[in-house]
Structure 1
Amino acid sequence: SGEAAGVTDKRGDLIGAAVDLPKWVIDDLARVTPPKRVSAALEALGEASVAFVDAQFHKSVKMAERAKQLAPRDATVREILGLGAYRLGNWSVALTELRAYRRLSGDLVHVAVELDILRALERPDDVASLWEEFKRWDARPVVYKEALVVFASFLIDQGDLDSAASLVLPARLKNDPFPEDLKVAYVGARVAALQGDTATAREVRDDVLLADPAFPGIEALDRLL
């Protein structure tokens, strides 16, 4: 079977943290990397991944940079480097690497992070431009909603409450909402509160708390009410 083949076809040159990488990650890197560099690149990528999970972001970035030197065309290498740089607040590196990841993989999963980086870089025109592009792409609902949260929050920061409200209100939560739905509703409550509609803001706030009593940011929202 294919599953059995995935076990028996395990590479014999994996060392260090590379042994714990998923088979598809190993195969993808090997496909775009000169053979003599594959083993060392996988070892560096494995160490970068472990460090990232352990929140050792400086180490993760260092190892991801080593992996990039060896395997610059691998999407996962660029992804882990971009996310590590993002966690460190190194916005320019993070943006470059996550854009490279999106170009190499075709995956839109980190567009929300790209938008947040552009916000941090105070590039409002680029935030708006990326959002307009993103709307034309075929993103999964969860990816769209994560990006929507960032863009609506950006509009709030810009003082454009009406545009933000048009994106996130009315905020109606269904039973057993997904985490991204709670985030959208939370931004909706913020917009309503800032517009002076405290009744709507409290209603949405209560719905969010009912779904997740530990939802982050509720205290900040309460200060607006």
Structure 2
Amino acid sequence: MPIPDEVTGFEIDKSVRQELMSLPKTLADDVARNLVMVAQLIDDDPEQAYAYSRIALRLASRVSAVREAAGFAAYATQKYGEALAEFRASRRMTGGVDLWPVMADCERGLGRPERAMAMAGEPEVRKLDKAGQVEMRLVAAGARRDMGQIDAAIVTLESPELGSSAIHPWTSRLRYAYADALLSAGREDEAREWFAKTIEADKDGATDASDRLAELDGIEFVDAEAADDEDDDQDDSDDVADDKK
């Protein structure tokens, strides 16, 4: 697959470049450039990102960073079984626990929420950093919801991190999940409060909390483009009516 000339491979994290140094230089450069393409495309064009990850995997399957990238690319395209296999391979190579929450979420994607819940109780969770523990809590709450245990999901999300006024990268997602769970449980007033708190933390607009809050308040937004089309249609109708006079 073509890679733009401006992509050098040095755009990736230094730790990944260091890991690729075990490969011959030309091969390392090829793998690095494919990994850059994965990173650049995974949000907007996950299928293309997946294709580049398969090339990197074919070139360097014994590099843990490549297995991890392949896992995330597969995860982004909802190939959960494949993603889980890649994450497990990467974990075997590194011995780390960072991928534990996304591995549990793959179990959810495969329709096995009970396995995700089991993973939430394993010793690996205690080894995660704060962000990883919050991510694991989100996955566990999702698994509870998968099993129809909405009240248990709400309790799972209730934590010191949720109650903290400090804003972290994961704060908006945690508050949003809590608000959504409250709404599913019919606790509309509390959900409204937590959607509002989500907006306070979501400076980048990563969630649709503002839309959800507006919906609860009975506010309808009209798409500007659709409104313009409607106005144009009305103008055309007026013109036809004038012509008939």
Pick the TM interval, shorter chain. 0.7 to 0.9
Question: What is the CA RMSD across the aligned residues, in angstroms?
Answer: 2.8
Partner of 2:197: 207
Deviations 1:58-94 (A, max 9, x none): 4433343333334322111101111111112222211
Paired with 1:122 and 1:154, the residues of 2 have a C-alpha distance of: 9
Count of residue pairs brought into register by the alignment: 205
Seen in structure 2, the aligned counterparts of structure 1 residues 67 and 206 have a Cα distance that, compared at 3 Å, is closer
Seen in structure 2, the aligned counterparts of structure 1 residues 80 and 186 have a Cα distance that, compared at 3 Å, is same
Partner of 1:97: 86
Higher Rg of the two aligned structures = 2
Farther off after superposition, 46-55 or 113-122: 46-55
Partner of 1:45: 32
From 80, 84, 103, the counterpart of 1:114: 103
User: 2:34 corresponds to which letter in structure 1?
Assistant: E
Deviation of residue 172 (structure 1)? 2.1
Partner of 2:19: 28
User: 1:186 corresponds to which letter in structure 2?
Assistant: Y
Q: Which consecutive unaligned segments of at least 5 residues does structure 2 have?
A: 1-6, 218-245
Paired with 1:82 and 1:180, the residues of 2 have a C-alpha distance of: 21
User: 1:17 corresponds to which letter in structure 2?
Assistant: T
Q: Which consecutive unaligned segments of at least 5 residues does structure 1 have?
A: 1-15
Paired with 1:129 and 1:60, the residues of 2 have a C-alpha distance of: 31
Deviation of residue 54 (structure 1)? 2.9
Contact 1:64–1:77, Cα closer than 8 Å, also in 2: yes
Paired with 1:157 and 1:220, the residues of 2 have a C-alpha distance of: 21
Partner of 2:179: 189
1:154 has 2:152 as partner? no
Instruction: Describe the SS at the equivalent of 2:98.
Output: coil
Partner of 2:188: 198
- Relative contact order, CA 8 A, sep 6+: which one is greater? 1
Paired with 1:20 and 1:205, the residues of 2 have a C-alpha distance of: 36
Contact 1:45–1:77, Cα closer than 8 Å, also in 2: no
Contact 2:192–2:213, Cα closer than 8 Å, also in 1: no
Paired with 2:213 and 2:110, the residues of 1 have a C-alpha distance of: 25
1:164 has 2:153 as partner? yes
Seen in structure 2, the aligned counterparts of structure 1 residues 59 and 183 have a Cα distance that, compared at 3 Å, is closer
Deviation of residue 148 (structure 1)? 1.3
Seen in structure 2, the aligned counterparts of structure 1 residues 196 and 18 have a Cα distance that, compared at 3 Å, is closer
TM-score when scaled to structure 1? 0.75
Instruction: Describe the SS at the equivalent of 2:71.
Output: helix
Deviations 1:116-152 (A, max 9, x none): 2211210123212222226644100011112211221
